[in-house]
Every structure is written in structure tokens, then in C-alpha cells.
Amino acid sequence: MLESRTQISVRYAETDMMGIVYHGNYLPWFEVGRTTLLKECGLPYRELEARGYRLPVIEVGVKYFRPALYDDTLTVITRLTERPTLRIRLDYEVRRGEELLVTGFTTHAFINKQGEPVRPPPDFAARMRALFAAR
């Protein structure tokens, strides 16, 4: 399992009229966690894109337990629990301190610039094998 932690400060614009974070704003935070995890693994998403690969979201799920509020400092925990093959699934937790607010997941497919499914780059697959073997 690979794990990354990212700090997020809730901005006023991310809240609704009730003073809580709008439910759709958690997905961009998942994206921040996802790109951080890939970068920490030595495989920045920008580099994958420059080489012609894309990772569109093909499935997403979110479960809300408690609301986040304006000016909260949150931690987005991103986990890659299975070695990616043609798809990659990431799991997320959003916490305020120790308090669990939200869980979620995203599943992505590897595609090329033309939108066709492809295998991940060989060096990406090798890096993932090495990282998972070391854990």
C-alpha cells in the first residue's frame, strides 16, 4: 500500500449558505491528493501527460460522515492499495484532526491522446511493481 497526506485549508468560497463545505468540493481535494501521491512515487502526472498518457476518472464514490467548515485545516489521505494494471483505483479519507469526515474512491483508466485504452507506460508499471514489492 502506498499512502500520501496532503493538508487543505477550507476557503470561504468552498462553503455553501449553511456554512459547510459544498459536497462537490471534495472531488478537487481528491485530485490534489492523487497528484501528490503520484509525485511522491516519482511519477508526476504532468510527466505522464507529456508522454501522451491520460488518466480519466471512470468511477467515483463519496460517503459523507461529518461536514467540513470554513477555515478548517483538513488532511486528505490518499491510498493506493492495489498495484495498478490497466486501471488504477485510489482511496481517500478527509480528516479534521483525528475526526473522519469523508471517505471516497476514484478509478481511472489509462488512455492515449486519442482516447483509446492503453497499457500504462512500462517504466510506470516497473516502478509500481518495485514500490509494492518493497512494502
Catalytic residues: 16
d(CA 69, CA 48): 34
Q: At residue 25, what are phi and psi to the nearest 5 degrees?
A: -75, -10
- HEC profile for 69-108? ECCCEEEEEEEECCCCCCEEEEEEEEEECCEEEEEEEEEE
